[in-house]
Amino acid sequence: MIKKIINNKTNYLTIFLTGGSSGIGYQAALKLISLGHDIILPCRNILRANQVLTNIVNDLKGNLSNIGNIYTPIMDLCDLNNIDSLCSDLEKRKLKIDVLILNAGLQYTGSKEPKWSSQGVELTFAVNHLSHFYLTKNLLPFLNKNNNSKIIITSSEVHNPTSPGGKVGAKATLGTLAGLESKSKFKMIDGNQFNADKAYKDSKLCNILFGIELSNRLNLNKVSIPVISWAPGLVISKDSQGFFRYSRKYNQLGQILFAFIARDLLRITTSNEKAGLLLSELVCSSMYNEPGFNYYSNKLISPSKFIFEKTNISVEAQRRELSNKLWELSEALIEKIK
């Protein structure tokens, strides 16, 4: 089922946003709706969809006269079949998308054992990369290529082993993609033993490689759409929602201590509200209309102060043959498990 709030405006952007039910994505959705843009915001079940609609109405504080439409179709990125159902529904409704935002992501650092998607793929890789890869390929026909179209992918500075966050713990690397090339069930992309923290870092590296390859392939087909990957910085909310809600299940005390030190003592974090505003600016500002692939990072320059700027990607992310191989192996994996 798809639900709708209200609409009094026309000629605004239609934005498809994953990961919009909480955290950065929710704050971005709230801002974009208040500006009159229409949002397609998939939720994993009907209870979550109803809660999101309630939250938006409450947070807009009754100011509903100029907001855009919000649609909340049901889609769980843990299951590729959900993506098929959603795309069939969009086709029936003849909807067009101006901006595609791939923002959903999960991390379950602290778990010693991997979790699995409905198709039997390690969950971090499945949700953060593979499902977004499959979703994008299915949504490209819906993209309105003549109306300030953009594709925006939320990544992280931890993709880069030389960044402050990337230096901590296991380093991001996909190696030769041995896991993806394996004919058996794999736990890690590089074929090594499972490490939940590294699985997340590797998935953020996949986000960037996917964005680069997507841009290259669009250009080969003479489609000039900006593809933007971005890093919001370290975001730790004071409530129980947001990105770290999964990791808290495995090390609640450690997460509380980490949050206190990073957010309250060292002040090296930003908020969901500020990061969500950055995401909404990526959508709306002509500053980010440059064709091709670009990567931006919200860099900490002093306690509580950040600068959002175009940034170099990691050395491994610059390997052209790696982005192509990831694309080809992702296609092959989907064909195998679907």
CATH of the domain at 125: 3.40.50.720
Confidence band (pLDDT; 50, 70, 90) for 66? Answer: confident
More reliable by pLDDT, 42 or 242? 42
Any domain includes 200? yes
CA atoms within 13 A on the CB side of 199: 31
Confidence band (pLDDT; 50, 70, 90) for 43? Answer: very high
More reliable by pLDDT, 262 or 228? 228
pLDDT, residue 100, reads 98
8 has pLDDT over 60: no
Q: How many residues does the chain have?
A: 338
Q: Which amino acid, 146? A: N
pLDDT, residue 255, reads 67
299 has pLDDT over 50: yes
237 has pLDDT over 90: no
Any domain includes 141? yes
pLDDT, residue 276, reads 97
pLDDT, residue 7, reads 43
2 has pLDDT over 80: no
d(C-alpha 29, C-alpha 40), whole Å: 9
Say if CB 337 and CB 81 are below 8 A apart: no
Any domain includes 198? yes
pLDDT, residue 11, reads 62
Q: Which residues contact 116 (CB under 8 A, 6 or more apart)?
A: 122, 123, 126
Per-residue pLDDT tens digits for 239-293: 655 555 555 555 566 666 767 777 877 787 899 999 999 999 999 999 999 999 9
Q: What is the greatest pairwise CA distance in the chain?
A: 55
Any domain includes 254? no
Question: Which residues is 299 bridged to in the sheet?
Answer: 307
Any domain includes 265? no
Domains in the chain, number: 1
What is the mean predicted confidence (pLDDT) over 35-54? 97
pLDDT, residue 95, reads 92
**What one-character DSSP code corresponds to residue 83?**
H
d(C-alpha 217, C-alpha 222), whole Å: 9
Domain that holds residue 148: 14-233+272-337
**What one-character DSSP code corresponds to residue 147?**
S
Element of type H or E holding 181: helix 178-181
- Rounded to the nearest integer, the mean pLDDT of the chain is 91
d(C-alpha 30, C-alpha 34), whole Å: 6
1 has pLDDT over 50: no
Instruction: Count Cβ atoms below 10 Å from residue 280 Cβ, excluding itself.
Output: 22
Any domain includes 252? no
Any domain includes 108? yes
Per-residue pLDDT tens digits for 166-190: 999 999 999 999 999 998 899 999 9
**What one-character DSSP code corresponds to residue 301?**
E
pLDDT, residue 4, reads 42
Any domain includes 219? yes
Long-range contacts of 316-319 (CB under 8 A, 24+ apart): 316/172, 316/173, 316/174, 316/205, 317/159, 317/160, 317/205, 317/208, 317/209, 317/212
Per-residue pLDDT tens digits for 102-148: 999 999 988 999 999 999 999 999 999 999 999 999 999 999 887 67
Confidence band (pLDDT; 50, 70, 90) for 311? Answer: very high
CA 185 to chain centre: 25
Per-residue pLDDT tens digits for 71-95: 999 999 999 999 999 999 999 999 9
What is the mean predicted confidence (pLDDT) over 208-225? 95
Instruction: Count Cβ atoms below 10 Å from residue 236 Cβ, excluding itself.
Output: 19
d(C-alpha 120, C-alpha 220), whole Å: 33
